[in-house]
Amino acid sequence: MALTFGALTRPRSESEVREPSRHRTIGLSVAAVGLALATISLINSIVAGDLARQAVSADQVGSLGAWSFGLTTAAFATVKLAIGLILLGIVRRIWLRVESVKASLPGLIRARASDTAPLGEFESDFGPATATATAPRPLLIHRLAGLMWAPMLAMGVMLVHAGLLLSFVVAGNVAADPALASSQRAWVQGLQFLGEGLLLSGISFLLGTILGAIRAGGGEVQESLGLTVRTLRMPLTARLFIALMMVGFMVEIAQFVGYAYIATIPGTADYTVFSTWLGPLRELGLGTLLSGIVLALATIARALGFQFARISQIITSGR
Amino acid sequence: MSASFRPDFNVELSSRALGPNVPQRIGRLLWAPMLVMAVMAFPLGLAIGIARANLVATGGDAAMIAALGHLGPAAMFVGFAAVFAAISFAIARILGVLRAGGGQVQEAAGRRVQTLRMPPTAWAFIGLMAMAMMVILAGVAGNVVVGASIAGGSTDLLAQSDGWAIWFEGVRRIGVALYLVAIALGLATIIEALRFQAIRLRELPAESAD
C-alpha cells in the first residue's frame, strides 16, 4: 500500500520535468465543477428565502433547504478534492525539483571546501537545525501522512456524497413524514460534516507529505554530494499544526455522534436544543482543521526558505 | 531589469535576485494576524450557539433566539473569512519564498537571474480571494444588521427572520466556494513556480557564470 502511494507522490521518470502538471489541470477543472454546484445552491437559497419571507409554504421551504444543504456541502467537498489533487501535483513537482537540484548542483559549486562542517545541533536563520553525516530518517508523522492522505480523501468524498443522496430523500419526506425527515436531516448533517472533516484531514496529510518530501529531498541532495546533511528541526508551527488537526478531527467525530443521537429523537424538544449547538460545533471543528492548515503552509514556507539558503551556501562555499 | 519572453515561461531578467512582490510581502505580514482573528472568532460563534440553545431549552425570548440565530453564524463566518484569508496569505508567502529563493540560487551561482512573472492563475487567485472576502463579509454584515435590529425590537424583521437567514446563508456559502477556488488557484500557481524552477535549475550548468 505504501509503495502504491509512493508511486503516486514521486514520479518515476524525469521526463515529466518539462510537461505541464496534469494534476493542476484536472484539479482546476474539478474546482470549476464545485463552483458550478455552489452556484446552483445559491439560486436555490434565493428562491427558498423568498418563499420563506412570503410565508408561502413551510414544507416547500424545508424541502428546498434540505437538498440545498446537501448540494452546498457536496460543492465544498468537490473543491476540497480539487485542492487535494493540486497538492498531490505539488508533491510530485517537489520531487522533480529534487532531481533537478541533484543533476545541476555539482556543476554550480563555485568553491570546494577541504574540510567538512561540524555535526550536531545548530541555530539557523530559520530556527533550530541539525547537521548529520547521512540523510535523517523520515519522521513518524511524515510516514503516517504518506499513508493516510488517500484513504482520508476517499472516505471524505464517499461520506459527503452519501449525505447528498440522503438529502434528496429528506427533501421528499419533509411534507409526507416530518419526523422521519428530521431524523434523516440529522444523519445528513452528521455524515456530511464528518466527510468534510475527513477531506480537510486528507488535505492536512498531503501538506504533511509535502513537508516530508522537502525534508527527505533536501537530505538526499546533500548526501548524494557527500556533504554534511543539514536539516531543519520540526518548528513550533508544525507541532501546533498536528495538534490542531487532531483536535479538529475529534470535534468532527463528536458532532457526528451528536447528530447520530438526535436522529433517534426527532420531534422532541431535545432534538431542537441539540441541533441548535451542534451546528456551531461542527463549524468549530472545520475552523480548527483549517487553522492547522494555515500553520502547515507557514511551515512549508519556512522549510523552503531553509532549503534555498542551504543550496546557495553549498554553491558558494562547497560545504 | 528587463522583461524576456522564453517560449515556455514569461520571465523577468535581472543581474540580482528579486525580492517578494507586493502581494507576497502582504502575505508574509498578514497570515498570522488573520489566523489569530479566526482563532478568536470560532469560539465566539460556538458560545453564541450554546447561549441560543440554552434560551431554546428554557423557553427564552423568541426575539433574542432569532437575533442570536443571526449573530452566531456572523461570528462563525468572520472566523471562516479570516482563516481563508490566512490560508491565502500563507500561500502568497510560499510564492514569495519561491520567487526570492530561486533568484538567490541563480545569483549565488553567478548566472543571470530569471524570475517567473505572475502567471494568470496568480492574478485570478488574488481577484477571486478579494471577491470571496467581500461576499462573505456582505453575508456577515446582513446577519449583523438583521440580528441587531431584531434584538432592538423590530417586529417586521422578526417575522421575516427565517427568510433573511436563508438568503444570507446562501451568500456566505457562495463566498466560501469562491474562497476555496481561489485557494486552488494559488496552489496551482505554486505548481507552475516549481515547474519553472526545476527546468531553470537544469539550464544553469550550461550557462556561463558572470
Distance between CA B173 and CA B184 in Å, rounded?
17
Q: Chain A residues with CB inside 8 Å of B32's CB?
A: 298
CA distance B191 to chain A (A): 5
- Tens of pLDDT along A150-197? 999 999 999 999 999 999 999 999 989 999 999 999 999 999 999 999
- Supply φ then ψ for residue A190, to 5 degrees: -60, -50
CA distance B109 to chain A (A): 6
Q: Which residue has the cell 455522534?
A: A257
pLDDT band at B139; cut points 50, 70, 90: very high
Contact state of A42 with B188 under an 8 Å Cβ cutoff: no
Q: To the nearest whole number, what is the mean pLDDT of chain A?
A: 93
Say whether pLDDT at B4 is over 90. no
Question: Which site among A54, A297, A300, A319 would you substitute to test the B interface, given the most B Cβ atoms closer than 10 Å to its Cβ?
Answer: A297
Say whether pLDDT at B2 is over 60. no
Say whether pLDDT at B181 is over 70. yes
pLDDT band at A4; cut points 50, 70, 90: low
Section B120-145 average pLDDT: 97
Q: Residue A7: what pLDDT?
A: 76
In the structure grid, which three cell numbers stand for residue A218, read together? 533536501
Say whether pLDDT at A60 is over 90. no
Say whether pLDDT at A198 is over 80. yes
Picking from B90, B184, B198, the nearest residue to A97 by CB comes out as B198
Chain B neighbours among A 104-143 (CB < 8 Å)? 104, 107-108, 110
User: Which strand (E) or helix (H) includes residue B2?
Assistant: strand B2-5
Q: Residue A17: what pLDDT?
A: 87
Q: Chain B residues with CB inside 8 Å of A51's CB?
A: 163
Say whether pLDDT at B40 is over 80. yes
Supply the pTM of this predicted model. Answer: 0.95
- Tens of pLDDT along B146-167? 999 999 999 999 999 989 999 9
Contact state of B194 with A94 under an 8 Å Cβ cutoff: yes
User: Of all residues in chain A, what percent carry a pLDDT higher than 70?
Assistant: 97
- Tens of pLDDT along A245-279? 999 999 999 999 999 999 999 989 999 999 999 99
The residues, any chain, with a CB within 8 Å of residue A274's CB and separated by 6 or more, are A258, A261, A262, B53
Count CB atoms within 10 A of the CB of residue B30.
17
User: Which residue, A87, A173, A79, A269, is CA-closest to B179?
Assistant: A79
- Tens of pLDDT along A207-216? 999 999 999 9
Picking from B41, B97, B167, the nearest residue to A49 by CB comes out as B167
Question: Which site among A22, A294, A317 would you substitute to test the B interface, given the most B Cβ atoms closer than 10 Å to its Cβ?
Answer: A294
Contact state of B46 with A304 under an 8 Å Cβ cutoff: no
CA distance B110 to chain A (A): 9
Say which amino acid occupies B127.
Answer: G
| Lowest mean pLDDT across A14-18, A100-104, A128-132, B67-71 | A14-18
Q: Residue A70: what pLDDT?
A: 95
Count CB atoms within 10 A of the CB of residue A51.
18
Contact state of B199 with A94 under an 8 Å Cβ cutoff: no
Q: Residue B210: what pLDDT?
A: 66
Q: Nearest residue of A to residue B128 by CA position?
A: A35
- Tens of pLDDT along B77-92? 999 999 999 999 999 9
Q: What is the CA radius of gyration of chain A?
A: 24
pLDDT band at B75; cut points 50, 70, 90: very high
Find out whether B38 and A293 touch, Cβ atoms under 8 Å: no
CB proximity A288 to B under 8 Å: yes
Find out whether A189 and A281 touch, Cβ atoms under 8 Å: no
Section A85-105 average pLDDT: 95
Residue-wise DSSP of B20-34: --HHHHHHHHHHHHH
